[in-house]
């Protein structure tokens, strides 16, 4: 128990404390591991001499549940946890999930919907004046007016609805220390308006210098063009070197002000963060419930980087971690790996070495370290920038060192590689060693779609790039004398995906020779480029109108097309083919997705004989061996 920070008043008193400086209220169970934001921020504050108590998953129906430690000396820190509470609770179809991996034994229902707002309001009912600072991904991505998929409307900045004083957005290490020092020196929380990486409320603009005035809340709520315009401005101000201060007007409630992002961590700072004295496990109080499922996969994984310059439209990393790569040193990672090998349940396998994108180990170009990222250009899309530094030498060296550690049998790379970045590197050493040492039969990659029209809106490379990668991966496997397969992730119903594009993806899945067990339907989560397109029907960076599959029925059809072999999906598939004008895919040819309905069974227009007639008229599809990893696996 002494390895963990206090979770009860008795724990606090056993340490000889009369009062804690900060109470950290979180929607997750308490896991003291560096993959959990609660652990990082609380241990970082502890390292600076602050006393921190943790209240994990308080009962939001009881006010006394957040008064475990009494009133903290400096303030409350509030987070929904590692996941957005709405995404944690609901599928994209808005159905309740059955399991919460961040709760004891995977039990669902231990946190409320919109946890940050609920916890903050609960605190305010008991502690009227105590500073409340929000953090974590739920607050970070709702820091300004935002479209809410679950209520299908534009909602206030979470700062307005929660009654909190500040948001520490992004990863938060720099800003939380500066906030703590300001509070500790006696500065009222209302006066803490200068910290990078924070959002605050004020009555007027007197505390800001030359702010960028965003469309007001009333404007973005009433006008989708205004919403898209506001989002574009925010998207272009996510870089700590170039971003301006932004102000959003809320009428009688005043303004919500967003300061520019905090600077990225240096490698030395990253090393310090990951060298803090984490227990590396969940709190012992969860042992009786079977532990915390989320820890199982990451317990023997290593974080090597943070941030991502991939800029996928459906990803919130641009708004949360930023596009500038931050890395840990080899020494820091190896130190953690050695400690990991000494754990009694370590079996010799390091499950992953990576981050948002495994093979990013440096900023995309050196200019970013002094000038920031480009406002109107991407590093990899639509093609790699001429200034891109595509080099895997550092990552290859790190993986070799980890492979050579005593007790390590295998080092996996599971957090995903950016295949266009791999191709941009003329040196094939990484790809060869990836295939030989770091894949166990299957390499998971994320082409997301096969239609270049959809990929354009996704911010992903063209399908031809993915096909080229498959060929190179095949060569690497042959060189290693192995037979391994690339397993692609695909997404349905993304903005820009018409029914014709969905059918095109289904045809590709057919030619692969496998049926995906799960299909990822596009999920419009707050503060992504794709969500803005979903809500407005406008690409905010170009002003272009975008087709959006919105109805639950159309989304169900697009999902069903990817799993056309499942008999349950037949009617949805047939409807999709009719809409797309692709009834040539109903028949007995090997290229057909579904068979015609027999006479007397359903739609008489598509009878068994009609299907045979169509096949004889056009001739059967020519037989050929489709050369791809999935087909070979099936044949084997």
Binding residues for [4Fe-4S] cluster: 308, 312, 315
Give me the phi and psi of 32, to 5 degrees please: -90, 75
Distance CA 319, CA 37 (A): 16
Residue ranges for the known binding site are 308, 312, 315
- For residue 68, what are the CA distances in angstroms to 10, 56, 208, 283? 10, 11, 38, 17
Residue 267: count other Cβ atoms within 10 Å of its Cβ: 12
Element (H, E) at 333: helix 330-341
Residues 6+ apart with CB under 8 A from 34: 40, 273, 274, 276, 278, 303
Q: Strands 255-258 and 246-249: what pairing? A: antiparallel
Which residue pairs, CB below 8 angstroms and at least 24 apart, start in 499-502? 499/549, 499/554, 499/557, 499/558, 499/576, 499/579, 499/580, 500/580, 500/581, 500/582, 501/449, 501/451, 501/453, 501/454, 502/549, 502/557, 502/558, 502/561, 502/562, 502/576, 502/580
Q: Rounded distance, CA 361 to CA 364, Å?
A: 9
CB atoms within 10 A of CB 163: 15
Going by the DSSP 8-state scheme, the letter that residue 594 receives in this structure is: B
Q: In sequence order, what are the residues at sequence separation of 6 or more whose Cβ sits closer than 8 angstroms to the Cβ of residue 567? A: none
Q: Strands, DSSP E only, in 103-249?
A: 132-134, 146-148, 153-155, 166-168, 198-202, 212-213, 246-249
What 3-state class would DSSP assign to 570? Answer: helix
| Token pair 């803490």: residue | 192
């Amino acid at each position: 128990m002494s390895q963990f920070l206090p979770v009860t008043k008795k724990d606090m008193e056993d340490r000889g404390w009369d009062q804690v400086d900060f109470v950290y209220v979180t929607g997750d169970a308490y896991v003291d591991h560096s993959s959990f934001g609660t652990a990082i921020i609380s241990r970082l504050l502890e390292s600076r001499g602050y006393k921190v108590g943790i209240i994990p998953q308080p009962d939001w129906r009881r006010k006394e549940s957040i008064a475990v430690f009494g009133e903290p000396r400096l303030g409350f820190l509030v987070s929904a946890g590692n996941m957005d509470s709405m995404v944690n609770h609901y599928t994209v179809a808005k159905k309740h999930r059955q399991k919460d991996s961040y709760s004891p034994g995977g039990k669902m229902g231990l946190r409320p919907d919109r946890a940050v707002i609920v916890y903050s309001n609960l605190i305010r009912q008991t502690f009227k004046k105590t500073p409340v600072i929000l953090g974590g991904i739920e607050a970070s991505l709702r820091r300004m007016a935002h479209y809410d998929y679950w209520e299908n409307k534009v909602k206030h900045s979470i700062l307005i609805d929660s009654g909190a004083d500040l948001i520490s957005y992004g990863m938060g290490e720099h800003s939380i220390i500066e906030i703590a020092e300001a509070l500790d020196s006696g500065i009222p929380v209302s006066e803490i308006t200068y910290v990078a990486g924070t959002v605050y409320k004020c009555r007027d603009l007197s505390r800001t210098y030359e702010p960028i005035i965003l469309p007001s809340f009333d404007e973005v709520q009433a006008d989708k063009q205004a919403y898209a315009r506001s989002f574009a401005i925010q998207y272009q101000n996510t870089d700590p070197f170039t971003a301006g201060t932004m102000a959003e007007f809320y009428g009688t409630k005043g303004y919500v002000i967003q300061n520019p992002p905090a600077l990225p961590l240096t490698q030395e700072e990253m090393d310090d963060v990951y060298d803090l004295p984490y227990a590396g496990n969940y709190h012992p109080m969860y042992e009786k419930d079977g532990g915390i499922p989320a820890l199982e996969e990451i317990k023997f994984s290593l974080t090597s980087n943070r941030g991502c310059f991939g800029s996928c439209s459906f990803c919130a990393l641009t708004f949360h971690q930023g596009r500038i790569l931050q890395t840990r040193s080899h020494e820091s990672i190896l130190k953690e790996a050695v400690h990991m090998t000494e754990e009694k349940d370590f079996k010799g396998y390091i499950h992953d070495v990576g981050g948002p994108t495994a093979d990013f180990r440096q900023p995309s170009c050196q200019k970013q370290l002094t000038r920031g990222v480009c406002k109107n250009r991407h590093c990899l899309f639509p093609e790699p920038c001429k200034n891109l530094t595509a080099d895997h030498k550092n990552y290859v060296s790190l993986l070799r060192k980890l492979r050579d550690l005593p007790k390590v049998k295998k080092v996996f790379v599971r957090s995903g590689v950016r295949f266009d970045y791999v191709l941009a590197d003329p040196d094939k050493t990484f790809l060869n060693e990836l295939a030989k040492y770091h894949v166990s039969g299957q390499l998971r990659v994320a082409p997301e779609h096969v239609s270049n029209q959809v990929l354009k809106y996704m911010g992903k490379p063209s399908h031809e790039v993915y096909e080229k990668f498959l060929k190179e991966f095949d060569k690497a496997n042959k060189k290693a004398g192995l037979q391994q397969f690339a397993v692609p992730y695909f997404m349905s119903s993304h903005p820009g995906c018409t029914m014709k594009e969905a059918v095109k993806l289904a045809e590709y899945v057919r030619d692969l020779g496998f049926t995906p067990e799960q299909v990822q339907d596009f999920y419009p989560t707050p503060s992504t480029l794709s969500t803005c397109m979903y809500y407005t029907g406008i690409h905010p960076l170009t002003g272009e109108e975008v087709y959006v599959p919105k109805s639950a029925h159309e989304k169900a059809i697009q999902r069903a097309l990817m799993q056309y072999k499942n008999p349950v999906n037949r009617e949805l598939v047939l409807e999709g083919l009719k809409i797309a004008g692709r009834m040539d895919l109903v028949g007995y040819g090997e290229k057909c997705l579904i068979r015609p309905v027999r006479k007397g069974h359903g739609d008489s227009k598509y009878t068994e004989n009609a299907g045979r007639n169509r096949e004889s008229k056009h001739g059967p599809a020519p037989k050929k061996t489709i050369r791809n990893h999935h087909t070979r696996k099936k044949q084997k």
